[in-house]
Amino acid sequence: MTRPLLQVKGLTKRFKEREVVKGISFSVAEGSCAALLGPNGAGKTTTISMLAGLLQPSGGSIELLVNGSPVPDRRPYIGYLPQTPVFYPWMTGKEFLLYAGELAGLKSREAALETAEWLEDVGLKDAGKRKIGGYSGGMKQRLGLAQALIHRPKLLILDEPVSALDPSGRKDVLSLLQRIRQETTVLFSTHVLHDAEEICDEILMIREGEIALAGSLDHIRRTYSEPVIRLEVGGDEASRAWLAAVGSKDFVSQAETSGGRAKLTVTDVELASLALMADAVAHRVMIRSLEAGQSTLEDLFLKVVQS
């Protein structure tokens, strides 16, 4: 299952003078789940819109490979959920799904079957009879997922699917995605790292319209994670001074100190933590907490974004 499904080469988008997406290339393997990560304004939505066929690229190519050969029109094979899905408020949820299914090319009987099934799956069985005008944000998001999936697409493209939801809505949508990704290849954009870590296996970080980092989540973790010690000391003058001085020890390669806390990137966690504790005892400094571990994806993200 490592055949590429989506292949993007040199994708570029210019709006007048401004180049928003600067020739990005990547591919998404069949059966994988890829996250397009980046800060706000990095060009995520623009990229997604081009993939969904809503925006004409200024340059480059997008190919969807079905059974190994590129298809001329990729719309029948993709399902797309925009950032804030908007529906016809005067339709009921059920009517909209039927409409979406038939637009996607299903026969009316198939559409009715799929509608019933998806309404059940996204937990809108009862709400399906009501007008969409009265739906909450989470319900709209779930209905949006159902309309994107109703024709069983090969690739599901989602733009910030959970960013605007409250915690319980987030959990609902994420667990739905967990289930969907067993059957469908998923590509979604987000600026929330935690969501990406939870369901994805491929990461594409983009910054100012360029790919800053790409690869599988495991690989990125292995390659870029560094041993880190997080240290917190008491608030008195002596402890603060000690904490500031610790940053210049030779086993510390990078130190960030703020208030009574420090994040130290070290060469060897075990040696460093022993040395730190001994040093603290010698200076009669009270350590409130000491945590030895690896840098998280978030640290990496911040590093990529800020560099």
Residues that bind another protein (CB under 8 A): 45-46, 49, 52-55, 73, 75-76, 78-82, 84-88, 90-91, 99-100, 102-105, 144, 147-148, 151
Q: Which is nearer to another protein, 164 or 292 (CB)?
A: 164
Q: Which is nearer to another protein, 87 or 242 (CB)?
A: 87
Work out how close the CB of 147 gets to another protein at its nearest, in angstroms, rounded to a whole number. Answer: 6
| Nearer of residues 64 and 229 to another protein, judged by Cβ | 64
The minimum distance between CB 64 and another protein, in angstroms, equals 12
Give least dist CB 145 to another protein, A. 11
DSSP the chain: ---EEEEEEEEEEEETTEEEEEEEEEEEETT-EEEEE--TTSSHHHHHHHHTTSS--SEEEEEEEETTEE-S--GGGEEEE-SS----TTSBHHHHHHHHHHHTT--HHHHHHHHHHHHHHTT-TTGGGSBGGG--HHHHHHHHHHHHHTT--SEEEEESSSTTS-HHHHHHHHHHHHHHTTTSEEEEEES-HHHHHHH-SEEEEEETTEEEEEEEHHHHHHHH--EEEEEEE-SSHHHHHHHHHHTTSTTEEEEEEETTEEEEEES-HHHHHHHHHHHHHHTT--EEEEEEEE--HHHHHHHHHH-
Nearer to another protein, 26 or 87 (CB): 87
Integer CA distances (angstroms), 120 to 98, 111, 125, 127, 154, in order: 14, 14, 5, 10, 21
Min separation Cβ 36 and another protein, Å: 16
Q: How far is the CB of 103 from another protein (least distance, A)?
A: 5
Contacts 24+ apart (CB under 8 A), 273-281: 273/229, 275/249, 275/251, 276/229, 276/231, 276/246, 279/242, 279/246, 279/249, 280/233, 280/242
Taking the least distance from each CB to another protein, the nearer of 99 and 251 is 99
Smallest distance, another protein to C-beta of residue 88, A: 6
Cβ proximity to another protein: between 159 and 202 the closer is: 159
Cβ closest to another protein, residue 147 vs residue 190: 147
Of 191 and 262, nearer to another protein (C-beta) is: 191
Kindly state the smallest distance separating residue 138's Cβ from another protein, in Å: 17
**In the complex, least distance from residue 252 CB atom to another protein, rounded to whole angstroms:** 46
